[in-house]
Chains A and B, each alone.
Chain A
Amino acid sequence: MNATPTGSTDPSPSQDNLTADTVPGRGANGAAPSTRRRWKRKPLVAVGLLGGAMLLGGCDFYPTYWADRGATKQGQDIFKIYSGMMTTGIIVAVIVSLLITWSIVRYRRRSDEMPRQFHEHIGIEMTYTIIPVIIVAVLFYFTVLSENNVDSTVPASVTSAQGKPVVDITVTAFQWGWRFDYPNLGVGVAGELTNGPNDHGPQMVVPEGETVQITLVSNDTIHGFYVRDFNFSRYAQPGVTNVFDLNVVRLGTFDGQCTQFCGLYHTDMLFSVKSVTPDQFRQWASTQVAEGNTIQSSGSGAQNTAPSSSPNQIGCGQGNCPAGTAGAAPSSPSSTAKAAA
């Protein structure tokens, strides 16, 4: 699922390279000496610039630290701040560990001589109060930039500048499964209670390179919509409607899972996201309508979004319908009878 076709057009990295080029570019245009002088006067500016270069630079510049570089534009933003903060954290941790190690090695008791009984030093104490304040201030600045990027949404009625439409998807989480409704296309896909190791749950299909606007709701308890390769999660809560945008920039299938504990079968509440080209996406949508996987016919869990014809009919997209679960109304406690398998 992590396999990314390298040939796939990926608008974001090229943008990033652009900004990365401008940072050293400024220095190359004869501004380097003055920058250096400024550094001498204000060493704090150096810290800021280092952090800024880290966070504005291109994606490949960052170590991954076991995370994904992000299969969405938003995920790439998050990845950058994650990687930048992880680097900062590792530097701080290494420095402090070295200080601890130095003290326990150097000052190991070797004689009964009494050490000097000093107990404070205002200068040093002020220094190690102020430096952390500066570090967290810088981190906070980039955090705010990043979170504003991630949380900004395109108004649903507006189409993007390239004339690409916004694809609306209403994601409904329920015990224990997911519904993906495409109100503009009339498609509705749902599935629940995955069974067996090869079942990855219902699948949400999205067009690569277009803005997908997710409206996230829950029918019963709180669930967590989480896709690892998107570096993103958001609660699906009863009484709260969360709206966010995803711009998938990579073709592939990405595993997702409920992360907020939601009851007995929390473990089995899987789903996946498949990104396809826009043409394939439209084709897929018409196939789904032809096959009857429409909003109206996808039964359980549809109370919020569409009048449900019958709770016994669950449109299981992608043929993932697990045997034996089609008849169960997920919100009724009786479905928990499949206890302790």
Chain B
Amino acid sequence: MTLLAERPGIIGPDEPDDHGPDDLHHEHHEGPTGILKWLTSTDHKVIGKSYMITSLILFFVAGLMAMVIRGQLLQPSGLGISFQTYNQLFTMHGSLMMYLFAGPFAFGGLANYILPLQVGAPDMAFPRLNALSYWLYLSGSITMLSGFLVAGGAASFGWVSYAPLSNATNTPGAGADLWLMALALTGFSAIFTGVNLVATVFYLRAPGMTMFRVPIFSWNMMVTGILILIAFPVLFAAVVMLFCDRHFGTHIFTVQGGGSPVLWQHLFWFFGHPEVYILALPYFGIVTDIFPVFSRKPLFGYRGMVFATMSIAALSTGVWAHHMFTTGVVLLPFFSLLSYLIAVPTGIKFFNWIGTMWGGQLSFKSPMLFSVGFLFVFLIGGVTGVLLASPPVDFQVHDTYFVVAHFHNVLVGTAVFAGFAGFYFWYPKMFGRMLRESLAKWHFWFLFVGFWLAFMPQYVLGLHGMPRRIADYAPDTGWGTLNLLSTIGAFTIGCSFLFFLANVFVSWRKPVPSGSNPWDAHALEWFTTSPPPHHNYTHLPTIRSERPTWDYNHPDHPTTPNKHQQRKIDAQKKEQEKETAGVGS
């Protein structure tokens, strides 16, 4: 209630606007400064930036591991890295990317910063919980990385940690325990953020911001929050069980004591498959916000988009065993059918994105460029995903490089292409300065070319029989040439990020101010200053559609109403006319 009472006044485009968007008279806060300010902050913008910087650092660490992995596979005998080191490297590469980068970058970083702005809220619903979430995430990340410092090295059982390989007999040592603890810590950080995302969208929307006017990015983040609440508690339970098996003599996952190793796979993938969509939906949301802006059109099929997001989320809780087709102990047709069906809402999204561009005025600024790159990359990931939904095809390519190529198509498409699209898009909002377009284009083209070079050969390698997670291969397998190409591609991807770092450096040293709305964007966050003041808004525009800032800036170009809406408008007009006629007579 108080929150509503404290809301800034609402002004329409016709009303006099005394305080411009640049008015910062709310920015007046006593309190700690410097590092203490950062440590004690509960501001979603500070926490969002911390999340983003931390996750990007971890992304670069994991990326460097990928470079070493690709170096080792460059040719038979590669760099001569030991099996033990190699196993640790691919485990940590996967763990960092999946648990500590792709998710937190989206829901901890971008969503934390942007979501309250988009729905017109002064902060997240539970700011202290939000701060706790970040500190749990940071400590969990440090815990996971510290595995490299202990005797025996970091965890080395793959990011899926299959029992019984992950028990105390097969993987002794503190590295595995640290890995499990890190999952518990970051799992809770995700749950707390999930609670915040859902509560913020449900309860802190600005007046006029109905659910069907919430931008798709925030919609998707809300659904992601629900998926987090479904999936992460299961992961936490599984981690606790595994820890008990390792240290307290339980036999939940060991056959000798009457347990079942397959149970781990069920629990893990019941988390793991929604997790894949926890990583995908936010990035779908990012590009869904970007396409309309650079097409100068409203999103095509807004309600279809919401429907598709909800269907993906619902289906994603029923497809986990498609990771287990080759175990021989799951009901193949059921999980196959549901996996196939996920292609339908994903397809709807694709056609909606194309429909948004159709008939528009497209400009290829860096966010749009990365979004279009995402379309192509994710398309191939989606198509090969449909192949893998077929159990016989899965028997053929399961655990080969075909699968490796598939999920890199999906995850690099989302977390990297769409993720950096979002970064380039919202960087001006977050820092009040622009990134350089030319460097961004270099970044894109190196990444785009490098990506295809790195991962298309891996499909062929998988079909030629190269299993995943092997540290070496014999020369007579004939896998050398394709691996060489893949490694060159991976290094090209690595190089592309030098342009990114250079871009951030240049923007830091020689800032070009961005103004509040450099892209002529649509959603509410572009109405406030860049960066926004404390508690985000001094005043709000009237919200009549999902793009209030556009409506404010382009009153002559509102969204064309559909037949149903037109009828409603006509009826209203008629009623008004009647009323005025009645008054006149």
Contacts and interface: CB of A to CB of B under 8 A. Distances in A.
Interface of A: 65-67, 77-79, 81-82, 85-86, 89-90, 92-93, 96-97, 99-100, 103-104, 107-122, 124-125, 128-129, 132-133, 136, 139-140, 143-144, 146-147, 150-151, 175, 197-198, 220-222, 224, 226, 228, 231-235, 237-240, 242, 244, 255, 257-267, 333, 339-341
Interface string B316-349: 0000000000111100110011001101100110
A124 B399 contact: no
Interface in B368-389: 372, 375-376, 379-380, 383-384, 386-387, 389
Given A111-B361, A221-B164, A139 B390 contact: yes
B157 interface: yes
A340 B82 CA distance: 4
B395 A267 contact: no
Contacts of B433: none
Nearest to A75: B396
**Nearest 3 CB-CB pairs, A to B?**
A340-B82, A228-B465, A259-B399
B398 to A, nearest CB: 5
Interface stretch (B292-300, B492-500, B502-510): B292-300
Contact of B383 (A92, A107, A115, A150): A92
B50 to A, nearest CB: 34
Contact of B357 (A104, A114, A144, A197): A104
Contacts of B477: 255
A233 B170 contact: no
Given A139-B386, A224-B399, A259-B400, A125 B348 contact: yes
Given A67-B396, A237-B261, A115 B296 contact: yes
Judged by DSSP, the binding face of A is mixed
A103 B255 contact: no
B310 interface: no
Contact of B464 (A66, A220, A258): A66
Contacts of A81: 390, 392-393
B557 A117 contact: yes
Interface stretch (B112-120, B281-289, B467-475): B467-475
Contact of B299 (A96, A119, A122, A265): A119
A147 B333 CA distance: 9
B252 to A, nearest CB: 12
Interface residues of B, number: 98
A136 B372 contact: no
Contacts of A144: 333, 336
B172 A340 contact: no
Given A103-B362, A116-B359, A238-B255, A86 B387 contact: yes
Nearest to B477: A255
A96 B377 CA distance: 12
A143 B390 CA distance: 6
B513 interface: no
16 contacts: A78-B392, A96-B354, A107-B295, A118-B560, A119-B297, A120-B304, A125-B301, A175-B170, A235-B327, A235-B328, A242-B328, A259-B400, A261-B87, A263-B171, A340-B82, A341-B82
B38 interface: no
Given A85-B386, A103-B354, A128-B351, A261 B295 contact: no
Contacts of A78: 392-393, 395-396
B136 to A, nearest CB: 29
Contact of B343 (A119, A122, A132): A132
Contacts of A66: 459-460, 463-464
The interface centre, meaning the residue of A89, A109, A261 with most chain B CB atoms within 10 A of its CB, is: A261
B362 A104 contact: yes
Contacts of A266: 83, 87, 469-470
B560 A119 contact: yes
B558 interface: yes
B299 to A, nearest CB: 7
A115 B467 contact: no
B562 to A, nearest CB: 6
A66 to B, nearest CB: 4
Contacts of A237: 261-262, 327
